[in-house]
Structure formats: C-alpha cells, structure tokens
Amino acid sequence: MQIGAHLPQLGRGASRAALMEFLTEAERLGVHSGWVSDHIAWPADIESKYPYSDDGAFPAPNDMAWLDPIGTLLFAAACTETMLLGQTVLIMGYRPPIQTAKLMATLDRLSDGRAILGAGVGWMREEFEALGMPYDNRGARADEQLEIFHALFTDETPSYDGRFYSFPEIKFEPKPVQERVPVWIGGSSEAAYRRTVRFGDCFHAAFQPIETVAEAWARVQELAAEAGREGEITLSTRLYLDPASSMKPELSVAGSPDQMADTIGRWAEIGCEHLLVDITAPGGPSGRLDALSTFMTEAVNG
C-alpha cells in the first residue's frame, strides 16, 4: 500500500518551518506522496452542503488560514527529492484552464516530474461566486478543462474550441517533464466515475466507508472494461489518521498500530493501492508529524 500524507497547509501552524520539517521527515519515513486541499476565498455564510458529512457542514471553520494549493506544492518541490505532489482535489472551476495548466506544468518541471493532478468539480457555490467563476455546468466545464490540459501538454501548437472555453492556436511552453501528468479524479457520482474512465489514472475517494467505496470502485471498473481500459486505473482513498479514535471509525485509520495495520489490510482487499491520511492528532504540525512517524514505523512498516 502506498501512503500519502496531507501536508500542514491549514491553520495557524502552516508556516515555512513547519512545512519544511514535515516534508523532510515524511520523505525520510518513506511517504509516497504529499497532498494539499483547495479553497481560495471563504464566504462568511455558507449554505452549500458539504457532501462528506452527515449534516452537510464543512468540518473546518471559515476563518482558518489556508495556503494556496499549488503554491504550497511548489515550495514542497524544493524541499523534497522523491515524494510525489498532488491536490486532493484541485477544483477545476476556480481558475481559468490555461492558468491552471501553466501552474501544473511549472510544478512538474520544478519537481522533476513528480506532479499529480487531482481533479474535482467542487461543491461550494458561494466560493465560485466570490471568485467570479460560474457554478453551473461545472462537471462539463471540468471535462473541457481536462481536454485543454491534454492539448496544452502534448500539442506543439495547441488550440481549443469548446462549449465553454476556446482559444486560437498558441504556443505553450514548457511542457511538463512527464509525458502524461497523472490525473486522479475525485467525486462520488456516476459523472465522476465516467470522468475517471475518460480522463483518469486513479479514482480518488474521500471520507467514505469501505462498503461505499467498494461499490463505487466496482462501477468504475465496469465502465473501464466497457471502454477498453480494464486494469489501467487504480484506486486511492483519503481517510483520517486518528490515533485517539476521536473521528468516525468507518472514515479513519485509528487505534493501535495493529488495528491500523488491519484497517490497511481491509482496504487493500477491495483493491485500494494508495491511502492518503489526513492527520487529526493534537499538537499542531509537530503532533501530526509524530503521529505520522508512529504510523509509518509501527503500522505500515512494522
């Protein structure tokens, strides 16, 4: 099982020193990948429902400090040598597609080919509105953006003429180091499953029980077989790393190292190859780093 870790990108502890320490130690521990989340502007009042909580409330307060996702990964690229760097997930509709493509190509260049594009369509209408970006048809817009990325990253003189986006022939340089920047698709709908098969290298589930993810993964595999992509897509899930067992157990890797190892085994049985842990341990970035160290040395490699 590959292990990814959410970086200390959020809150008062999100600092240069904390990020450098976390990245250096995580890479030493053998963490496969480092991840960030994407929010730009928090509305004072949020009526949109978060899809991964029972009551629709987003678990983080709207006054929490939140570093830019790709900016944070550019910093991480300079602090690491082997760790892959991705977003869980980047909201396609928050930015113009050529701008996003330039940022991703820059990240891949400066990390020497370690970028992952985690793509999602978003859920918070109010944030789209605050950014002056359209919320309607966000799934179809995301699909066009992914088509644009492919053109920009591969064509010598790319152009695009779609329903929502268009541009004439342009030069777009530099291209990413990787011939194909891996695309990890997040979501929990039929549209997300189909987007995964059309564009994705990995289906990236988040904060859902194993039974729910197993059903979604079965559907992705069914669609992949129909599209002639059987065996080409992998499965990842994002869970809380919760040593104190304070979160919902079905959404967590929790308890003793042996219990954590057992949880990893159950996820592996349904075909999950990558586990992204979102660390909930107290004590700020240093406390989360201690929890990650114990997890990697005793549960993963013990």
Q: In CATH, what number is assigned to the domain containing residue 137?
A: 3.20.20.30
Write down the pLDDT at residue 62.
Answer: 87
Question: Which residues fall within 8 angstroms of residue 300, CB to CB, at 6 or more apart?
Answer: 1, 3, 30, 261, 264
Contact 187, 195 (CB under 8 A): yes
The phi, psi pair for 38, rounded to 5°, reads -125, 105
119 pLDDT higher than 90: yes
The Cα diameter of the chain in Å comes to: 57
Element (DSSP H or E) covering residue 252: strand 252-254
The domain of 88 spans 2-300
Confidence grade of residue 54 (pLDDT, cut at 50, 70, 90)? confident
Kindly state the tokens that stand for 251.
């959404």
**Number of neighbours of residue 180 by Cβ within 10 angstroms:** 11
pTM (2 d.p.): 0.97
User: How many structural domains comprise the chain?
Assistant: 1
Contact 248, 278 (CB under 8 A): no
**Number of neighbours of residue 83 by Cβ within 10 angstroms:** 21
Amino acid code (one letter) for 260: M
Contact 200, 184 (CB under 8 A): yes
Contact 240, 254 (CB under 8 A): yes
Tens digit of each residue's pLDDT (9 = 90 or more) over 191-246:
999 999 999 999 999 999 999 999 999 999 999 999 999 999 999 999 999 999 99
